[in-house]
């Protein structure tokens, strides 16, 4: 499913108005959903209760700090800090960006606010990696790069279109189908011998894999197509060792796109994507060749997901193709008696 992530952007308002808008625009251009109070900065507790509901619906929280502490609530804490504290309390992933001291243009003059800002910065920088920034372009680049890394390493729930979500009736039907498939597999295992497909591409034939890569420079996001040709043997040799860990479908797709792009021959630090149908073809081909099993299984969180693992035949071929063969013969064996 096409997933979008909702990003909450928090900062003081007046001094960071341009920077905040640039970040919100960049998030939107990266095909995610920006959220924030840029149209009406928080000024009262009633509105802050609404802000908490918005934060609850977000997947990631971005806080931007410069030289201002911001408007104070009745308890003497700025609304920016209250937003941050609430996001942390809800265990929403936080990405923090603090402006370098020599780049700050507007500063607090009130001694109390100066002290509160120093305490807030110290709190934000404790226990997490914080990126520092100089100007608007530097900030936008840092935010997008950090978000891409966070989404890749710690994918959140995200949002999908309603027509992509299964209804209760669909889930019941899927559960019944899983049960029937499981029973049929067991019957086949007991009563039939496996008959390999004999009209499909062999391991030495090639597959063309396509994809795109996204490059972010300052506020500009550009995409470029890529493709490669690789044999099924090369592809399986590269991915097989990772399948010993029984990874889920998403992890395998991430590994395969990196493996495929390595055959393009051009190193890149851009964000890579692989054609979804090419990935599905690879999955089905490996199953048809009897190299992998792909099945729905429970996750550690109690959900269901697709997991990959090697068949016995797949393990044997991995050992045959990936082990290093000896180059020694009896003629040069140093332990042979003369």
Query: Which pLDDT tens digit goes with each residue over 162-181?
Result: 665 555 566 667 677 777 78
Same domain for 302 and 318?
yes
Residues 6+ apart with CB under 8 A from 244: 309, 310
Q: Tell me the C-alpha distance between 130 and 99, whole Å.
A: 10
Residue with tokens 């410069």: 66
Same domain for 172 and 250?
no
Is 330 contained in some domain?
no
Averaged pLDDT, 135-154:
92
Is 338 contained in some domain?
no
Higher pLDDT, 174 or 295: 295
pTM, two decimals, is: 0.49
Same domain for 315 and 217?
yes
**Residue 280 sits in a domain of what CATH number?**
1.10.10.10
User: Is the pLDDT assigned to residue 200 strictly greater than 70?
Assistant: yes
Averaged pLDDT, 68-80:
89
Q: Tell me the C-alpha distance between 89 and 84, whole Å.
A: 9
Contact 5, 12 (CB under 8 A): no
State the total domains in the chain: 3
Domain boundary among 153, 178, 213: 153
Is 88 contained in some domain?
yes
Query: Which pLDDT tens digit goes with each residue over 75-86?
Result: 899 989 999 999
Is 120 contained in some domain?
yes
Is 329 contained in some domain?
no
Same domain for 120 and 170?
no
Is 143 contained in some domain?
yes
pLDDT at residue number 182: 78
Q: Which domain holds residue 280?
A: 196-322
Residue 294: strand pairing partners: 308
Between the alpha carbon of residue 126 and those of residues 122, 158, 333, the distances in Å are 6, 27, 60
CB-based burial, 75-90: b 16+ in 10 Å, e otherwise: eebbbbbbbbebbbee
Between the alpha carbon of residue 140 and those of residues 12, 16, 69, 98, the distances in Å are 16, 13, 21, 13
pLDDT at residue number 334: 47
| φ, ψ (nearest 5 deg) of residue 42 | -65, 130
**Residue 131 sits in a domain of what CATH number?**
3.40.50.10140
Lowest mean pLDDT among 104-118, 185-199, 245-259, 304-318: 185-199
Query: Which pLDDT tens digit goes with each residue over 212-238?
Result: 988 887 778 888 899 999 999 999 999
Total residues found in the chain within this entry: 338
Number of H helices, E strands in the chain: 10, 10
Same domain for 42 and 139?
yes
Same domain for 225 and 282?
yes
The SS3 of residue 71 is coil
Mean pLDDT of the chain: 85
Is 47 contained in some domain?
yes
């Amino acid at each position: 499913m096409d997933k979008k992530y909702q990003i909450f952007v928090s900062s003081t308002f007046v001094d960071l108005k341009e920077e905040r808008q640039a970040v919100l625009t960049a998030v939107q251009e990266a095909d995610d959903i920006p959220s924030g109070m840029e149209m009406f900065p928080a000024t009262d507790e009633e509105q802050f209760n609404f802000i908490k509901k918005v934060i609850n619906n977000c997947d990631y929280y971005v806080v931007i700090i410069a030289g201002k502490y911001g408007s104070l609530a009745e308890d003497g804490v700025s609304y920016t800090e209250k937003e941050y504290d609430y996001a942390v309390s809800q265990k929403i992933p936080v990405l923090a960006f603090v402006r370098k001291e020599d780049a700050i243009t507007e500063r607090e003059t009130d001694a109390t606010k100066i002290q509160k800002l120093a305490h807030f910065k110290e709190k934000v920088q404790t226990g997490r990696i914080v990126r520092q920034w100089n100007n608007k372009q530097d900030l936008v680049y840092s935010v997008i790069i950090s978000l891409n890394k966070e989404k890749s390493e710690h994918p959140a729930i995200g949002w999908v279109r309603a027509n992509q979500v299964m209804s209760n009736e669909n889930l019941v039907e899927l559960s019944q189908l899983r049960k029937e498939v499981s029973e049929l597999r067991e019957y086949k295992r007991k009563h039939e011998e496996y008959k390999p497909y004999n009209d499909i591409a062999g391991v030495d034939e090639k597959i063309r894999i396509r994809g795109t890569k996204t490059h972010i420079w300052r506020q500009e996001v550009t995409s470029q197509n890529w493709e490669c040709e690789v044999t099924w043997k090369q592809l399986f040799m590269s991915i097989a060792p990772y399948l010993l860990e029984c990874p889920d479908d998403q992890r395998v797709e991430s590994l395969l796109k990196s493996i495929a792009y390595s055959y393009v021959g051009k190193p890149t630090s851009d964000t890579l994507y692989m054609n979804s149908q090419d990935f599905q073809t690879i999955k089905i081909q490996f199953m048809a060749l009897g190299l992998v099993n792909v099945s729905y299984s429970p996750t550690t969180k109690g959900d269901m997901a697709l997991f990959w693992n090697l068949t016995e035949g797949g393990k044997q071929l991995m050992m045959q193709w990936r082990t290093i063969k000896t180059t020694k013969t009896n003629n040069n064996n140093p332990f042979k008696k003369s």
